[in-house]
A and B are shown apart, each in its own frame.
Chain A
């Protein structure tokens, strides 16, 4: 009984997933549409693609790594710049209000609207992808950093000052640790957006032969629909794992925060 209680949540999640998979299998079999492969066909395709790869011999994992690599390139640049600017804007109201109109005009432009520009400017080089990812990841990190900095208790800053803390101490011993939970949330959201952007950028952008987005698009063109679905599932799985990783880190490192919020 105790055992049941402990795993109750996981059991419910698991049964929901199983029901969904059964419905998928049945639905696809009954409907019998070429463009809607059944679960078993998709799983088979997934396995084949991971182990043997596509017609060019590129494994699904290779496509995934290429996409991830592009995301990390753009994400790292976004992280560094968003942190630096976010901290600055958080502590310096005048500086923030100077940048604000600029930021608020660029922010609503979907990163994908930049794809044509990026592919003209950078070609198929990593720079084009990094640029689009940068635009997708920058704003959530930047805005969360600003919020985190502004939410820093002024009392804690005063405490530091009574101990003779200079500006640098206040920044790195009070403001940054205090804002770290928000910064991490910004990174998690930024990464989610970046991941969606890279897939779309690979589809509509330059014709590189590698990457999950490109892979799905070319499978659709070849009418290999089970393979196409396998690629889509890979996108979901990767995103899920990374999101859970961030959430785990947030729970682990910011226990003090979670408890206070209660």
Chain B
């Protein structure tokens, strides 16, 4: 077997707040993600999921431990991060939002335009290129964020509860879309969720974190064929199993 795409080793993160108190967010986390794998991370609110993604994206530094992507220490630009909150540049149109990363990389205008157009198509936003974010639905906004992240062709895509603010129906549709994009782009993805149903629907493997400070509780394989049926027995069984893991954490 080839070496993993992402390796997280003995990772700890302690925040020091303004008044000097220490907040231990993550404690001694170790796991890996394989090439083209879709790993879901679940865990109760405040257990350090966002912190973990920010560390992998290289926009925060760990207190201890290290993160390797393609065997090299991570740094900004190596993993694209899709934020949970509204993260589009409100003054840029859809197309110009998608071009943002390409501009930073100084990709020539014509080429960047072509690339951006391609990703508009990939996420199914043709006809909306010149719209501003406030003119889009919540689901469309996250599609733009995904297109913007993919446009720079990052080795790894990190998604932080990207569908948390969507209604159930839109969320299900976006999950299908994401799987389609994942298969088409052959990306390694880390998808953070606190929704077990979502994790079981999407993941190759699920990593469950404990309550804060986040530690690895379990890692388990989801050996269900895609497209997965939410109403099928194996799906329901897997979901129950994961739910139990999560509930244990909420109780403690």
Contacts and interface: CB of A to CB of B under 8 A. Distances in A.
Given A155-B86, A254-B91, 9 more contacts: A155-B87, A156-B89, A158-B54, A158-B81, A159-B83, A159-B87, A177-B89, A177-B91, A257-B90
B144 to A, nearest CB: 12
B171 to A, nearest CB: 21
A118 to B, nearest CB: 39
Nearest to A255: B132
Interface of A: 155-156, 158-165, 169, 173-174, 177-178, 180, 254-257, 259-260
Contact of B91 (A158, A161, A256): A256
A260 B87 CA distance: 14
Interface string B74-103: 001101110101110111000000001101
B87 A163 contact: no
A260 B134 contact: yes
A163 B134 contact: no
Contact of A259 (B58, B83, B89, B132): B132
A259 B152 contact: no
B76 A161 contact: yes
25 contacts: A155-B86, A158-B59, A158-B81, A159-B100, A160-B104, A161-B76, A162-B57, A162-B59, A162-B81, A163-B77, A163-B80, A163-B101, A163-B104, A164-B101, A169-B104, A173-B100, A173-B103, A173-B104, A174-B89, A177-B89, A177-B91, A256-B132, A259-B132, A260-B90, A260-B134
Interface of B: 54, 57-59, 76-77, 79-81, 83, 85-87, 89-91, 100-101, 103-105, 132-135, 149, 152
Given A177-B89, A259-B132, A164 B105 contact: yes
Contacts of B59: 158, 161-162
A160 B101 CA distance: 8
Nearest to A259: B134
B100 to A, nearest CB: 6
B85 A163 contact: no
B149 to A, nearest CB: 8
Contacts of A256: 90-91, 132-134
Q: Which 3 A-B pairs have the closest CB atoms?
A: A164-B77, A163-B101, A259-B134
Contacts of B81: 158-159, 162
A255 B152 CA distance: 28
Nearest to B77: A164
B76 A178 contact: no
A155 B85 contact: yes
A211 B89 CA distance: 45
A174 B88 CA distance: 11
A177 B89 CA distance: 9
Contacts of A155: 83, 85-87
A19 B108 CA distance: 60
B222 to A, nearest CB: 28
A180 B89 CA distance: 13
